[in-house]
Amino acid sequence: MKIALAQLNYHVGNFESNTAKIIQNIQKARKNGADLVVFAELCVCGYPARDFLEFSEFISQCAAAAQKIAAVCTDIACIIGLPIPNNKTEGKDLNNSAYFIENGKVKAIVNKALLPNYDIFDEYRYFEPSTEFNCIEFKGHRIALTICEDLWNTIENPLYITRPMDTLIKQQPDVMINIAASPFAYNHDEERIAILKDNAARYNLPLFYVNHVGAQTELIFDGGSLVFDNGGNLIDELPYFEECLTYYTLDDKGAVSFDHRSTIKKERESDIAQIHQALILGIQDYFYKSGFTRAILGLSGGIDSAVVCALAAEALGAENVMAVLLPSKFSSDHSLKDAEDLVSNLGCMSETIAIKNITEAFETALSPQFTDLPFNIAEENIQSRSRAVLLMAMCNKFGFILLNTSNKSEAAVGYGTLYGDMCGGISVIGDVYKTQVFELARHINREREIIPENSIIKPPSAELRPGQKDSDSLPEYDILDKILAEYIEYRCSAAEIVKMGYDEQTVHRAIRLINLAEHKRYQTPPILRVSPKAFGMGRRMPIVGKYLQ
């Protein structure tokens, strides 16, 4: 049996595009002699569809798309994922399902059993878990077909009380196929390989795994589909962050072979290299799938905006990126020079709009209210909000999308101005700690200097008052970021973090700042997710909670 794995980039709710892409790959696989072509979880509608799933018309369009796909699926079989109505009165209205289509008809339906309800996942909100498991007969083979999480319950501390494969293995399958929608995090590829390797070895079966690739707003899917032999040995690993269609032959003894060269990498990509690729794809898909082509950002000469500008130029083309220099009376000459050098290195568009007169006009208008009160955060924020007003005006006039340049460290402790530097259409590095931003800059400069060296080595500063440095208000980033990661990613308490050797006062201060800034994060753009725990849909905290403040 010749099996094709289709690792594709889908678009949530774009039935015309998704259906055409699936059909195109069915036809291509048929032409290349495949007996079965396998697509990803919920490929028909895209993942995650979220509350689109509550619209009956949306489910009807999924069904209509599946029928179009079935109509062309002759002389070949395919596996597709889609939501379908639950035919039982009890339980949720939908199932997260896979269709096995052969000779123009749906031969078998498999429903997902283990529904993740943690971090960014909320499948139990929509779907009813399956309790029935049956293998599929095809071309003399018995296929154990499962959907994503159904194979993830093999860890020492299982989340679920059942394992679908424990039931399916009793039916003596000779191959496992798993279709998935597994989002990217910089540490997730190794975890994914370990889980699937364990399944292949545990059940002594070859395993074919197909993942999504592409970004859906803040979620990025990295592909990296996998093939294992029945001993749990990884024999193929599809490319990351790109579409592909690959072919394998499964013989009568369960051995897997393929014609193409294996794409298994001798060395894993570094975390920063993966983050770089993910952010490029995240930017590209956010713009393409939203129907926009051009980006704008405020370029300060600092490392954050420099990194975002370089990423945007790589993702969209420098000709589609507008960098706006917005100097105030506190902006240093070297910051302006650094920003200008970056623009020259990238070849992107640029404009310079001084904000000194604008901020002074605000201060004059407020002078009766502010009277003789000293300069403080109010005047600092007027500068940041003046910049946002100008950038948004250019968005409205010329059709740009504003890129937010706040990093995860700043977002965590609230070191930013609401309706100022925290605004934008998409937050590019909002899940990248400041120390990682420095690493990212070095990675971007790995072949030539793109980001000026001075932007990397100078002390970080918002330049909203004379001589200001980030370290005036925050602990040094190499300490702060470690504390933030322990609290945000690993959910350690203050006491636990202090036991690790961190200063008690610094720990309590950092955690208090994180919790006090929750109201700010509720009002910021979607953040491209690259870590195991990002701000946004996967981290849900009360704004007015007292705990740990």
Q: Domain containing 120 — which CATH number?
A: 3.60.110.10
Same domain, 95 and 220: yes
Residue 155 has pLDDT above 80, yes or no: no
Same domain, 245 and 277: no
Closest Cα partner for 254 from 301, 200, 213? 200
Q: What residues are labeled active site? A: 41, 112, 148
Same domain, 237 and 316: no
Structural domain includes residue 298: yes
Residue 147 has pLDDT above 70, yes or no: yes
Q: Grade residue 545 by pLDDT with cuts at 50, 70 and 90.
A: confident
Same domain, 256 and 309: no
Q: Between these two residues, 296 and 544, which has the higher pLDDT value?
A: 296
Inter-residue contact 488 to 511 (CB < 8 Å): no
Domain tally for the chain?
2
Per residue in 250-282, pLDDT (tens digit) is 988 878 888 777 777 767 899 999 999 999 999
Find the CATH number of the domain harbouring 391. 3.40.50.620
Per-residue pLDDT, 332: 62
Same domain, 91 and 226: yes
Q: Grade residue 194 by pLDDT with cuts at 50, 70 and 90.
A: very high
Residue 467 has pLDDT above 80, yes or no: no
Structural domain includes residue 529: no
CA–CA distance from 346 to each of 54, 277, 319 (Å)? 45, 18, 9
Per-residue pLDDT, 474: 82
Structural domain includes residue 499: no
Same domain, 52 and 190: yes
Same domain, 111 and 143: yes
Per-residue pLDDT, 546: 73
Residue 549 has pLDDT above 60, yes or no: no
Same domain, 252 and 328: no
Per-residue pLDDT, 258: 82
Structural domain includes residue 505: no
Least reliable range by pLDDT among 231-240, 323-332, 370-379? 323-332
Q: 424 — alpha (psi -120 to 50), left (phi > 0) or beta?
A: left
At CB < 8 A and 24+ separation, what contacts does 66-71 make? 66/99, 66/101, 66/106, 68/19, 68/23, 69/19, 69/22, 69/23, 69/26, 69/44, 69/101, 70/99, 70/101, 70/104, 70/105, 70/106, 71/104
Residue 191 has pLDDT above 60, yes or no: yes
Same domain, 236 and 298: no
Residue 470 has pLDDT above 70, yes or no: no
Per DSSP (E only), the strands in 361-424 are: 401-404
Structural domain includes residue 484: no
Overall average pLDDT of the 10-27 stretch: 98
**Final residue of a domain: which of 449, 470, 491?**
470
Same domain, 73 and 107: yes
Residue 424 has pLDDT above 60, yes or no: yes
Per-residue pLDDT, 516: 92
Q: Grade residue 234 by pLDDT with cuts at 50, 70 and 90.
A: very high
Structural domain includes residue 328: yes
Overall average pLDDT of the 520-532 stretch: 95
Same domain, 82 and 148: yes
**Final residue of a domain: which of 264, 284, 307?**
264
Per-residue pLDDT, 416: 93
Residue 465 has pLDDT above 60, yes or no: no
Overall average pLDDT of the 527-548 stretch: 89
Per-residue pLDDT, 432: 98
Taking the model in full, what pTM does it have?
A: 0.94
Question: Which residue in the block uniquely carries the two structure tokens 């499948």?
Answer: 123
Overall average pLDDT of the 308-320 stretch: 98
**Final residue of a domain: which of 470, 498, 528?**
470
Residue 458 has pLDDT above 90, yes or no: no
Inter-residue contact 174 to 214 (CB < 8 Å): no
Query: For residue 102, what are the contacts with CB-CB under 8 A and spacing of at least 6?
Result: 73, 77, 138
Report the 3 state secondary structure along 298-346.
ECCCCHHHHHHHHHHHHHHCHHHEEEEECCCCCCCHHHHHHHHHHHHHH
Q: In what order do the strands lie in the sheet with 77-85?
A: 105-111, 94-102, 77-85, 36-38, 2-7, 244-250, 256-257
Q: Between these two residues, 547 and 83, which has the higher pLDDT value?
A: 83
Inter-residue contact 518 to 541 (CB < 8 Å): yes
The one-letter amino acid code at 407 reads N
Mean of the per-residue pLDDT values for the chain? 93
Structural domain includes residue 392: yes
Structural domain includes residue 502: no
Residue 505, Cβ neighbours under 10 Å: how many? 10
Same domain, 214 and 338: no
Per-residue pLDDT, 468: 61
Per-residue pLDDT, 372: 83
Expressed as residue numbers, the domain containing 327 is 273-470
